[in-house]
Amino acid sequence: MNGVPLPTEHGYPARLVVPGLYGYVSATKWVVDLDVTRFDRAQAYWTRLGWSARGPIKTESRIDVPRSGQDVSRGPVTFGGVAWAQNRGVRAVEVSIDDGAWQPADLGEAYSNETWRLWSFQWQADAPGPHEIRVRATDGTGAVQTSDQVGVVPDGATGWHTVSFAVT
């Protein structure tokens, strides 16, 4: 991992990863034995607990700055976060402030279709008081992240991430 032997906490001596699926389905640490079988003839630990047998990576985005409930000072503010759509890449990220129009965010480098993509957005914080920022991503196929709010079980959460903050 990163040019050095895989450390124990990351699964030494071997770790299996299947691209395009969430880790509960595809990222196995501390491999001690293997069963060679067909997908439809085995049931994994998490699927027995109600999770989907397939956990495809969905087009998603997240706001990391500001944190929910955080105060920001009046003046120029930089919002930021990450977006991902494994196997498809991230084509665009947009933000909406206080239910306003969607505006394009600046995107960081796209190293591959498999990696997260950083985004940032500059905003002039002039109006004191409570505000809300919302984010959505568009993947490399042109599909826009769904607004439908769904919890993580059975196959991963969906919806636009929203953060409430205050300008002081």
> What's the whole-model pTM score?
0.81
Of 23 and 48, more confident: 48
* pLDDT tens per residue, range 107-132: 999 999 989 999 999 999 999 999 99
Phi–psi pair at 63, nearest 5 degrees:
-100, 125
> Per-residue pLDDT averaged across 87-115, rounded?
96
CB-CB contact of 116 with 93 (8 Å): no
Beta bridge partners of 106: 120
Report pLDDT for 35.
78
Domain ranges of the chain: 9-54, 60-167
CB-CB contact of 97 with 104 (8 Å): no
Cα(16)–Cα(83) distance, integer angstroms: 24
CATH hierarchy code of domain 60-167: 2.60.40.650
| Strand pairing class (161-167; 129-139) | antiparallel
CB-CB contact of 20 with 57 (8 Å): yes
